[in-house]
Amino acid sequence: MNKRWVIGVWGTILTGLIVPSITAQTTPLGGVSPQGGGILGSYSNAIPMGKIGLVMSLARVLDIGKAIGAGQASLPHFDLELASKVDPDTDLFAVIGLHSHEGKSEVHIENVYLQRTGLIDGLTIRAGRQFVPFGYMAQLHTELSPFATVPAVTRHYFAEGNLAADGTSIMYTLPVPFYASVQAGSWTHTFPTPVEGFGVTNRMGQYRVVVGSALTDQLEWSGSMHWMNGDGPTFQTQADRVELIGTDFKLDWEWGENLRLTLLGEALGMNRTLGTQTYQRSGGYAAAWISDGMWDYGLKTDWVELPGDTLERVQSVSGILNIRHTPAAVLKIEYKHDTGPTPQHQVAMNYVVALGAHNHPVIR
Amino acid sequence: MMKWVGWISVLWGVMGTVCTAIEVVTSTPTLAYFASVIGGDRVTVSSLSSGKEDPHGIMTKPSMMGKVRQADVVVVIGMECDPWLTELAKRMGKRTVQPGGIGYLDMSNTPIQRLGVMDAEAMAALKGYEHVHPEGNPHYWLLIDNAQVMAKAMRHTLSKVDPDGAPGYAMRHQRLETRLTQLKERLKKEGSGLQGRPYWVIHDAWSYLLANVGGSVAGSVEEAPGISPGPLYFKRRLDDIKRKKGGVLLVDQYGGSRHDGYVKKISEAGCPVAYVTQSITPDTPTYEALIEQNIQRIKAAVRNTP
């Protein structure tokens, strides 16, 4: 364990334990979905004209049955979140990430985009680098994900669990008494290394329809359909075309003073044509958990079908437990049992601390 | 094709005819109360929170977005209490309910009285704490004088959005104004004996409420707004509470269990507890009931002081 790792771990733990107890309360973390990142909503004394926040995340995966310490660990991941008002209708948002990649620390711009509202009723335009709002989980920052690990299907399609791309997106909320919005985006993304389904550089078109409403005072649902297609020069010489289609559904049932049951499911499918070859992939996850404001506990299952691959199918069942010991920090624990060709048991832990200006999640 | 266009036009026209009420969306039930009392049957009012949650930490839901998209008037507390509603209005609302529009009402921009406004020195002392409110304590609606200012602002906004309804808004506003004035007079009598006592709070949401009866907050358990006390700070505060006799601890009825430990220790030290409420709820469905019930609870606690 090198010095940098030790400093990172202790820095994150101490920050999580001590700083939240002496700083102000912040927005509850997790269990919700932002519409492309949420809102930074608290003033910072450091930047009079803007807002600044910091999210720190430490992840560790332990393989059960192996020697203590076996498994994968990551250096703490830091996200510096910034927001600033350009004019009354235009905001600038940025997320600068610091994390470890193959043993080296890297600073990279995860998001930097301008958001323009006020042109037409219900219309929001974003331009710049942002998480492509494809699906549910792929647009969440770490602090907003309800899970300690990225679902296999999301990780399979988007290596880091998100797809940050440069482009423009337009979202229009329909003038109807329930929530209905349509969204389209045009994107260019350069991958540092090729990942499943995508080449080194891709141009992508992406479309989404989201609908939601209240069924009763306590029961709300939302669902979306989304499509994405991409092509362009790849690391190989052959023509490459990828189509992704997905759907997700979420149900929130609040009962009692402070209890909420959430059901969340998402399914994704991919068609990739590389030269004359066609590959198909599909997968999804489903989860149910109960929250009381401090504790979340529930179950999750996720799977990926890989026809033609040696693995054929990857599947796991997980117990999930999230503990919010302060409003600014959450410890996510996931006990995961892989039931695929190579069964294994793992415990994944993800500790997230948010300081300063913070996301006010906007459920979609 | 023309048939479809025809049907859609008819449907659109019917919707336009049916949906004539002014749609008002507020962040809290207290704001919704003012809107519905002044708006009467010309408005349909929705509060996006129940009054039992911290309005700052509301998680927005799909149904809220539908309401904001349809809203003709959006009313917020402001002062960073409910930024999520302003953001929803900006992203999804009509142009008129976005900041600067005639249907957007930030109550903190009205000439309310503000307590706890910080000067540069006070701000510097608290640098680094993110939930400090430099513009002042944001729970201003609990002061009846401010409620009167808010009611007036509500009437003006509704009259601008719906000029045809202005006479009705003025009439109902006048009735509410009378009730609020009577409430102030009642509290002058009922509040006798509540002045001059040390009132302790966990989080200072009650300075405005106490100001209605000439009381004031002696100190908070939190080191600064939203900041839980360290052991030494709490010990000093507990010593203060023991030393200054005749005090009462004000605790938010819906504040959750996070502060139960502090409340227990303070209560065991002989300081009675009054559970009070920040917002209108189904149990206290009017502003007048909210204020009166809170004052009655404080009086009951005062009677238990040693």
A352 dihedral zone (left: phi>0; alpha: psi -120 to 50; beta): beta
What's the confidence (pLDDT) of residue A327? 64
Indicate where chain B has its CATH 3.40.50.1980 domain(s): 20-185, 191-303
Average pLDDT over chain B reads 85
Cα–Cα dist A173/A162, whole Å: 24
- Quick check: B223 and A22 CB within 8 A? yes
What's the confidence (pLDDT) of residue A151? 87
How much is the average pLDDT of A280-308?
A: 89
Identify all chain B residues contacting A21, using CB atoms and an 8 Å cutoff.
228, 230
pTM given for the model: 0.79
Cα–Cα dist B37/B33, whole Å: 6
How much is the average pLDDT of B133-162?
A: 89
Cα–Cα dist B209/B64, whole Å: 30
Helical ranges in chain A per DSSP H = 3-22, 152-157
pLDDT digits (tens, 9 = 90+) for A98-123: 877 666 777 888 889 999 988 888 89
Identify all chain A residues contacting B94, using CB atoms and an 8 Å cutoff.
121-122
Q: Would the pLDDT of A273 be above 70?
A: yes
Range ranked top by mean pLDDT from A63-77, A110-124, B166-180, B201-215: B166-180
Range B21-48 burial, b when 16+ CB lie within 10 A, else e: ebbbbbbbbbbbbbbbbbbeebbbbbbb
pLDDT digits (tens, 9 = 90+) for A192-236: 555 555 555 678 899 999 999 999 988 999 999 999 888 755 545
Range ranked top by mean pLDDT from A6-20, A310-324, B273-287: B273-287
How far is A248 from chain B, CA to nearest CA, in Å? 14
The residue of chain A with its CA nearest to that of B94 is A121
Architecture of domain B191-303: 3-Layer(aba) Sandwich (3.40)
Higher pLDDT, B244 or A35: B244
Higher pLDDT, A329 or B206: B206
- Percent residues over pLDDT 70 in chain A: 68
Instruction: Count other Cβ atoms within 10 Å, centred on residue A300.
Output: 23
How far is B194 from chain A, CA to nearest CA, in Å? 31
Q: Would the pLDDT of A319 be above 80?
A: yes
Higher pLDDT, B162 or A190: B162
Domain presence at residue A225: yes
- Give me the residue from A27, A118, A176 closest to B95, CB to CB: A118
How far is B162 from chain A, CA to nearest CA, in Å? 19
How far is B82 from chain A, CA to nearest CA, in Å? 9
- Give me the residue from A23, A27, A179 closest to B63, CB to CB: A179
How much is the average pLDDT of B27-47?
A: 96
Local confidence band at A164 (pLDDT 50, 70, 90 cut-offs): confident
Helix axes B166-190, B29-39, angle to 10 degrees: 130
How far is B131 from chain A, CA to nearest CA, in Å? 5
- Give me the residue from B88, B93, B94 closest to A362, CB to CB: B88
The residue of chain B with its CA nearest to that of A217 is B63
Which domain, by its residues, includes A123? Answer: 3-356
Contact between B131 and B225 (Cβ < 8 Å): yes
* A·B CB contacts under 8 A: 139
How much is the average pLDDT of B24-40?
A: 96
CB of A229 less than 8 A from some CB of B: no
Higher pLDDT, B225 or B75: B75
Q: Would the pLDDT of A49 be above 70?
A: no
User: What tokens appear for B72 in the block?
Assistant: 């003709």
The residue of chain A with its CA nearest to that of B63 is A213
What's the confidence (pLDDT) of residue B160? 96
- Percent residues over pLDDT 90 in chain B: 52
Identify all chain B residues contacting A180, using CB atoms and an 8 Å cutoff.
66
Q: Would the pLDDT of A358 be above 90?
A: no
- Quick check: B63 and A32 CB within 8 A? no
How much is the average pLDDT of B61-86?
A: 90
Instruction: Count other Cβ atoms within 10 Å, centred on residue A118.
Output: 19
What's the confidence (pLDDT) of residue A219? 93
In 3D space, the residue among B141, B84, B107, B50 whose CA is nearest the CA of residue A27 turns out to be B84
Identify all chain B residues contacting A116, using CB atoms and an 8 Å cutoff.
none
In 3D space, the residue among B209, B305, B197, B201 whose CA is nearest the CA of residue B263 turns out to be B201
In 3D space, the residue among A306, A298, A305 whose CA is nearest the CA of residue A284 turns out to be A305
Secondary structure class of A6 (helix, strand, coil): helix
Local confidence band at A90 (pLDDT 50, 70, 90 cut-offs): confident
pLDDT digits (tens, 9 = 90+) for A250-265: 999 988 767 889 999 9
Domain presence at residue A362: no
Domain presence at residue A267: yes
What's the confidence (pLDDT) of residue A236? 53
User: What tokens appear for A259 in the block?
Assistant: 């209890």
Residue B289 φ then ψ, to 5°: -65, -40
Give the dihedral sign, CA B142/B146/B151/B156: negative
Contact between A20 and A328 (Cβ < 8 Å): yes
For chain A, the first-to-last Cα distance in angstroms comes to 41
CATH code, domain carrying A320? 2.40.160.10
Give the dihedral sign, CA B94/A129/A110/B128: negative
Contact between B94 and B71 (Cβ < 8 Å): yes
In 3D space, the residue among B107, B104, B151, B84 whose CA is nearest the CA of residue B286 turns out to be B151
- Listing DSSP states for A102-163 in one string gives TTEEEEEEEEEEEEEESSSTTEEEEEEEEE---SSGGG--GGG-SSSS--HHHHHHSTTSS-
pLDDT digits (tens, 9 = 90+) for B118-135: 444 544 444 444 444 556
What's the confidence (pLDDT) of residue A274? 74
**Of A5-9, A243-247, B271-275, where does mean pLDDT reach its minimum?**
A5-9
Cα–Cα dist A143/A359, whole Å: 9
User: What tokens appear for B211 in the block?
Assistant: 């100001």
What's the confidence (pLDDT) of residue A322? 92
Restricting to A residues 29-48, those with a Cβ less than 8 Å away from any Cβ of B are 31-32, 35, 39, 41-45
What's the confidence (pLDDT) of residue B191? 83
Contact between B181 and B147 (Cβ < 8 Å): no
Restricting to A residues 328-357, those with a Cβ less than 8 Å away from any Cβ of B are 355-357
Identify all chain B residues contacting A358, using CB atoms and an 8 Å cutoff.
130
Q: Would the pLDDT of B18 be above 80?
A: no
- Give me the residue from A23, A176, A361 closest to B130, CB to CB: A23
Structural domains of chain A, count: 1
Cα–Cα dist B132/B134, whole Å: 6
Average pLDDT over chain A reads 75
Q: Would the pLDDT of B5 be above 70?
A: no
Local confidence band at A47 (pLDDT 50, 70, 90 cut-offs): very low
Domain presence at residue A308: yes
The β-bridge partners of B284 are B281
Give the pairing type, strands B22-26 and B43-47. Answer: parallel
Architecture of domain B20-185: 3-Layer(aba) Sandwich (3.40)
How far is B266 from chain A, CA to nearest CA, in Å? 20
User: What tokens appear for A320 in the block?
Assistant: 């999930």
The residue of chain A with its CA nearest to that of B64 is A179
Restricting to A residues 162-221, those with a Cβ less than 8 Å away from any Cβ of B are 171, 173-181, 211-214, 220-221
Identify all chain A residues contacting B88, using CB atoms and an 8 Å cutoff.
362
Cα–Cα dist B198/B67, whole Å: 43
Higher pLDDT, B93 or A232: B93
How much is the average pLDDT of A239-245?
A: 81
Higher pLDDT, A305 or B71: B71
Give the pairing type, strands B104-106 and B73-76. Answer: parallel
Q: Which residues of B touch A (CB under 8 A)?
A: 52, 56-57, 59-63, 65-67, 69-70, 80, 83-84, 87-88, 90-95, 98-100, 123, 126-132, 134, 223-228, 230, 256
Identify all chain B residues contacting A357, using CB atoms and an 8 Å cutoff.
130
